[in-house]
Amino acid sequence: MDNRWRVTYYVQGNEKEARAKAEDICVEQTVEFPVDLIPEGSYIRREIVGRVESLEPAPSGGGYIAVVSFDESIAGGELPQFLNAVFGNISIKPGIRMIDLDLTPGLLESFGGPRFGVDGLRQALDAHDRPILCAIVKPMGLSTDELADMAYRFALGGIDIVKDDHSLANQPFSRFEERVEKCAAAVARANRETGYNSVYMPSLIAPASEIEKRARFAKDAGAGGFLVAPGIIGFDMMRHLANSVGLPLLAHASFLGSFVVNERSGIAPRVLFGTLMRLAGADIANFPNYAGRFSFSKKDCGEIAEADAKPMPPVKPIFPAPGGGVTLSVLPEMHRFYGNDVVFLIGSDLYRRGPDLVENARDYRKMAEAV
């Protein structure tokens, strides 16, 4: 095993253009310097500049697939510089899409990944051999008491994870600390009645100076994990929370869509919502389900779930969490598609099914236990 990590890029153009783009990536993402001014045979030219390992025609739609390798040292063992090196400047150049990542054992060790992963989260929730259910308290604008009442009802009905809507931050209609105290208490009260292990996960879409403080406050108040949005707070802040605070993390896709909406630029969903989320400490990676109101294909979703699960020791496997329009009626089909290791993120349907939220939640729990 050499000490180089590999990135696979789709590059637009004919063979000559694609080769030029691949060679440009090698320079732009490392030395960003005229190669002819670097002494031939020097360490920098030999090891630091990236290398085109292969260039093959893309299987369909034109363009080429380039595999580029980089020396482990250029990441310096730090995730921000790794992101900078895999897709920093070249993100600004059209016609380049990062479609796969293959890290060295050293980098996998450095980044660490999730603290809980699939097995750890199943233990924490006492939920084995079945899909996990996640409901969302919403809409923004409700008072803390109203949100806490919903949290209680969802937990009473057997929903495993009751999370803040990602729009709930620290607004005047529901301040963070009060909400966390009341929602965590509400879920604990439901657990005493049901014997379940439901957890409440507040949102940590919060100022950089407040995030860790809020996380520690919430942990003390009985929260069982957090919603985080790495597109907003940064991937490395999520990794830091996984290392420092010690509760499960559900990563939300907010603000990340521009990386995936165009097929010939950005980052493939499986890398962004699979590999990168996992490397950066998510235990659960949210993304838009193929059957919902966003535009992900079944292929995208299947590849994300694959990237969440594939062996990448010591980085643990994580849960895919398809959301955005999940309903009770599509659950069996989604279960066939994703298997048991999935978190179903259920939004509106839990409200839409009827006025009794406990009953609606129980329907989901029954379905999750039956599939």
Give the nearer residue to a copy of itself in terms of CB position, either 53 or 165: 165
Nearest to 85 by CA among 7, 148, 196: 7
The full length of the chain comes to 371
The reply to whether 147 sits near a copy of itself by the rule CB under 8 A is no
- Opening angle at CA 150, ends 144 and 151, nearest 5: 85
* 8 A C-beta contact, residue 161 and residue 250: yes
Give the nearer residue to a copy of itself in terms of CB position, either 159 or 233: 233
59 preceded by a cis bond (ω within 30 of 0): no
Query: Which of 205, 223, 251, 368 is close enough to bind a copy of itself by CB under 8 A?
Result: 205
The reply to whether 90 sits near a copy of itself by the rule CB under 8 A is yes
Query: Which of 105, 119, 220, 255 is close enough to bind a copy of itself by CB under 8 A?
Result: 255
The reply to whether 317 sits near a copy of itself by the rule CB under 8 A is no
User: Residue 211's CB: how many other CB atoms inside 10 A?
Assistant: 21
Kindly state the number of chain residues that form the binding site for a copy of itself, as judged by CB under 8 A: 82
How large is the C-alpha radius of gyration of the chain? Answer: 22
The reply to whether 327 sits near a copy of itself by the rule CB under 8 A is no
> Which span (7-15, 68-76, 187-195, 312-320) binds a copy of itself, by CB under 8 A?
68-76
> Which span (14-22, 56-64, 182-190, 264-272) binds a copy of itself, by CB under 8 A?
264-272
The reply to whether 38 sits near a copy of itself by the rule CB under 8 A is yes
Place of tokens 């990602």: 166
The reply to whether 352 sits near a copy of itself by the rule CB under 8 A is yes
Query: Which of 66, 83, 134, 331 is close enough to bind a copy of itself by CB under 8 A?
Result: 83
The reply to whether 367 sits near a copy of itself by the rule CB under 8 A is no
> Which span (12-20, 203-211, 300-308, 356-364) binds a copy of itself, by CB under 8 A?
203-211
The reply to whether 166 sits near a copy of itself by the rule CB under 8 A is yes
Q: How far apart are CA 276 and CA 231, in angstroms?
A: 11
User: Residue 197's CB: how many other CB atoms inside 10 A?
Assistant: 15
Query: Which of 14, 123, 171, 297 is close enough to bind a copy of itself by CB under 8 A?
Result: 171
Query: Which of 351, 358, 362, 371 is close enough to bind a copy of itself by CB under 8 A?
Result: 351
Can you read off the two tokens belonging to residue 355?
Answer: 């006025």
The reply to whether 232 sits near a copy of itself by the rule CB under 8 A is yes
Give the nearer residue to a copy of itself in terms of CB position, either 127 or 282: 282
Can you read off the two tokens belonging to residue 4?
Answer: 């180089």
Q: How far apart are CA 73 and CA 60, in angstroms?
A: 35
Residue at 194: amino acid letter: T
Tell me which residues in 108-137 interact with a copy of itself (CB under 8 A).
Answer: none
Report the chain's terminal Cα–Cα distance, integer Å: 42
Q: How far apart are CA 107 and CA 151, in angstroms?
A: 39
> Which span (2-10, 181-189, 252-260, 363-371) binds a copy of itself, by CB under 8 A?
252-260
The reply to whether 260 sits near a copy of itself by the rule CB under 8 A is yes
Containing 51, the helix (H) or strand (E) segment is strand 51-57
Query: Which of 229, 251, 326, 361 is close enough to bind a copy of itself by CB under 8 A?
Result: 229
Number of alpha carbons in the 13 Å side-chain half-sphere of residue 325: 9
> Which span (35-43, 123-131, 302-310, 331-339) binds a copy of itself, by CB under 8 A?
35-43
Can you read off the two tokens belonging to residue 99?
Answer: 């479609």
Tell me which residues in 284-303 interact with a copy of itself (CB under 8 A).
Answer: 288, 294-295
- In the DSSP assignment, the letter for residue 252 is -
